[in-house]
Amino acid sequence: MAPLMLALYQPDIPQNAGTMLRSCACLGVAAAIIGPAGFPTSDRDFRRAGMDYLDHVTIDRHASFAAFQAWRAARGQAGETRRLLLLSTRATVSYLDCAFREGDILLVGRESAGAPQEVHAAADLALRIPMRQDVRSLNVAVAAAMALGEALRQLRAI
């Protein structure tokens, strides 16, 4: 099992998804795509952004959030505890204050809409990246890389 997993909730920009999957490949992090995605995952732009790095990352695909949750439940029954940590601009806890654990799943929402209430409710913890008050949000791939970097630093997994 990879030390962490990055889950992309219904990604809608193929270049961002490709960038995040490339980061996973380089950092030794597993990935999950929770559908439906806003593009075919075989789309040319998606492959171009991920380049040949997509051959170096394990990607689990789930047709829906319910299917993803069923997968998590099955892994839990098999003894593989995996916390779901949601990156969200609505969260109050800083990602810098999180004690990451091996097996954690870091979940990012859609670029256009974030994650719905159902996903927030299912998360074990919601984390935010502290930012200036006069800006809305970071690019999702940048936010994912920042949180993965901190988690891997804490786990000494790189």
Please say if the pLDDT value at position 59 is more than 80: yes
Question: What is the C-alpha separation between 103 and 117, in angstroms, rounded?
Answer: 24
Count of domains in the chain?
1
pLDDT at 158 over 80: no
DSSP assignment of 45-103: HHHHHHGGGGGGS-EEEESSHHHHHHHHHHHHHTT----EEEE-TT--EEGGG----TT
pLDDT at 44: 59
Looking at residue 14, its pLDDT comes to 87
Residue 46 has what pLDDT? 59
pLDDT number for residue 144: 98
For 144, the domain range is 5-155
| pTM to 2 decimal places | 0.93
Query: What tens digit of pLDDT does each residue of 105-157 get?
Result: 999 999 989 999 999 999 999 999 999 989 888 999 999 999 999 999 999 87
Ordered strands of the 125-128 beta sheet: 59-62, 30-34, 5-9, 105-108, 84-87, 125-128, 93-94
pLDDT score of 47: 62
Average pLDDT over residues 67-84: 93
The pLDDT assigned to 52 comes to 76
| 8 A C-beta contact, residue 16 and residue 37 | no
In terms of residues, how long is the chain? 158
pLDDT per residue as tens digits for the range 24-55: 999 999 999 999 998 877 645 556 655 678 88
Could you tell me the CATH number of the domain that includes residue 97?
3.40.1280.10
